[in-house]
Amino acid sequence: MISYNEQTKVFQLDSKSASYVIGIFEGGYILHYYYGAKIPTGEDFSNMYYRGPQASFIPYNVEVRRAGYPCFYPGNAPMEYPTNGAGDFRNSALSILNEDGNTVTDIRYESHKIYAGKPRIEGLPSLYADETSAETLELIALDPYTRARVTLYYTVFKNLDAIVRSVKIENAGDKTFKVDAAASLCLDLPSMDYQWIHLWGQHCQERALSMTKLEHGTQMIGSKRGASGHFHNPFAALATNGTDEQNGEVYAVNLVYSGNFTISAEVDAGCTTRLMAGINDHDFLWEVKPGAAFQTPECVLVYSANGLGEMSRTFHRLYLDHLIPAQWAYTKRPLLINSWEAAYFDFDTDKLIAFAERAKDIGIDMLVMDDGWFGHRDDDYDSLGDWYIYESKLDLKRLTDTVHEMGLKFGIWYEPEMISPDSDLFRAHPDWHIHVPGRPATEGRQQYVIDFSRQDVRDNIFEQMSSVLDNYDIDYVKWDFNRNITEAGSALLDAEHGLEFFHRYMLGLYEFLEKFTKKYPHLLLESCSGGGGRFDAGWLAYSPQVWTSDNTYPIDRCRIQYGTSLCYPASSMGAHVSHKDAICDYNMRGCVAMAGTFGYEMDPRTFTEEEKALVKQQVVNYHKYYDTIHYGDLYRLISPYDGHADRAVWSFVSRDKSKALLTAATFQRTFNQSFWIRMQGLDPEKTYFCAELNLTASGARLMNVGLNFFNQLGWIGTAREFWFEEVK
């Protein structure tokens, strides 16, 4: 998969159907030559170094020019990992502040390693792979002035068109320096003819699709909130103009990180594009002493020659097979009901037992007790940080024993990274929340963020959580995070290291999660952040599912889940049925939630007999469709963002192509309108039967002729599922 030509000094990284080519140029410059559809090894790349205009005022390297390359300019060349202040005026991937007070950085090739498998990154979430499924290239470069030794990591997967990249900056000298900026990935492309795709949003409107024409200058998304955030997801893509689900080239990146980030696309005067992703360098400066190193988060790079659909399916399989914890990726997860929308803070032991009894009756597997079980918490004004049982409200032993005796599992809610001003923990340790001296701390949701960059804080919270989890029979933990970070600072960081805070916080969080998941590997962990405020690949390394949004209204959820599915698999998308309204009934809500992990967010005691029968059928369907949805391939057939956005249609196809679930939902009246759907991903040679349509047809017919759903979905807030099975 990875080859190196000693004569031409060219590396070629071949994945399933793509090639990535790097060259070592005169003077040790590391240049990017090509990324796209697979090509043979040994091609001539000797003329690939030049891009863009030549002018007398563009700096050049004298030694390279004397060596016979008069047209080489660092500012125009396709740099593999561009640095600051040495002739390339485009955005820099690496900038080092040295003891002389300048940030000039210039790295040159030193050596390399190629080996089977993939290394894990210490202290950060990372993908995993064995020696049969991936190979890794380490490109090692040196800045002779600062003595920064920079290792560029590339892991290529045998059966997926994906490359995982990261960078390590070691101090090989005898003087301390500071990393001012360090991207995880840079990709120089020879054109600007792309659509810039990203996912924007806000609370209850997460990961909305945006596709705009790439223009000159820099287009950038990011976060400086201390979390990846509701507002921009750490995913972006460049797609050739005219790209759709099945056609067009796509270059997509996803940062494996849950904190501050930036992803940018810069178009220069030569109409070339630089795509870059990494930690946000705003409020970031990291000290590296002699012998120490700084490691960037991993970033996933995916190439698709067949549109957005293939791009998404690559991400989905990659994350199922190489990111989500192996013990959960292909383990069937329990169908749960959560108490939050049913009771909020108003519950006691008997009410939750009554919920469990009704849940058991309709076939649900697990009851989750949400916020309100700890301290003296009856509203959201107090007790975060006091993770002991609210005994006058709750008998947790009787509750867990009773629920388990019914044959159900039991889950519990935590918000470990928060502290209430009205809490025993805050009164005992008023310096443990995030704050800066002399400024009042900003409250959000009547709470502060606790300082997870501190070992003593993490130890205290871990001990408190363990005292509950070690003594009660708990199967699931919902981990929430309901506000962003302001007044970013720690009582333990001096002025010299203050700008290390945000990343130190993330390192503390990941250290906690690593410890937590090793101690409790049997616990199903679900991340939440005011809904979908931290839905990222960093969390998926510890938590196989993430609450997608606090908004469970199915028409909105079609758009939220559509955007999320561009990068993240259905098995990771927390999706629940909540109480019906005048527009969308339980059937519509069930069909939409079935495209995620599936569960319920309501009081099961309120069901009528008709509704109970419907929910029981949904539970049957959940088990019937589970493998196809969670492990199959997603095909987005009609986008809720297309045209008038009056409908959405998607399907899941099993990997062996023997089964398919097609779901169609309407948002406006489409009565007496032609509604054609062409399926995708089936085997054209197989014959399929659909009981809902009483139809037997070949895969070729279903994909090429399609289906006319005329009057099948006539009214607003309607959805239907259609199950196709191979006729043997």
Q: Which residues participate in catalysis according to the annotation? A: 480, 550
Count of alpha carbons within 13 angstroms of residue 445, beta-carbon side: 17
Biggest alpha carbon–alpha carbon distance for the chain: 86
d(CA 688, CA 116): 41
d(CA 168, CA 296): 6
DSSP structure string for 607-666: --HHHHHHHHHHHHHHHHHHHHHHHSEEEEEE-TTSTT--EEEEEEE-TTSSEEEEEEEE
Structure-token pair, residue 429: 């340790």
The amino acid present at 255, given as its one-letter code, is: L
Alpha helix stretches (DSSP H) within 391-536: 396-405, 424-428, 455-469, 501-519
Q: Are 658 and 627 in contact (CB under 8 A)?
A: no
Backbone angles phi, psi at 161, to 5 degrees: -85, 70
d(CA 358, CA 352): 10
Q: Are 237 and 311 in contact (CB under 8 A)?
A: yes
d(CA 235, CA 199): 7
Q: Are 1 and 158 in contact (CB under 8 A)?
A: yes
The amino acid present at 683, given as its one-letter code, is: D
Structure-token pair, residue 100: 């002389």
Residue 547: strand pairing partners: 574
Alpha helix stretches (DSSP H) within 224-348: 307-322, 326-329, 340-343
What is the number of other CB atoms lying within 10 angstroms of the CB of residue 651?
Answer: 26
Q: Are 372 and 384 in contact (CB under 8 A)?
A: no
Q: Which residues fall within 8 angstroms of residue 23, CB to CB, at 6 or more apart?
A: 8, 9, 10, 11, 30, 31, 33, 45, 48, 49
Smallest Cα–Cα separation from 272: which of 160, 170, 190, 206?
190
d(CA 568, CA 312): 8
DSSP structure string for 342-386: HHTT---HHHHHHHHHHHHHTT--EEEE-S-SBTT-SSTTS-TT-
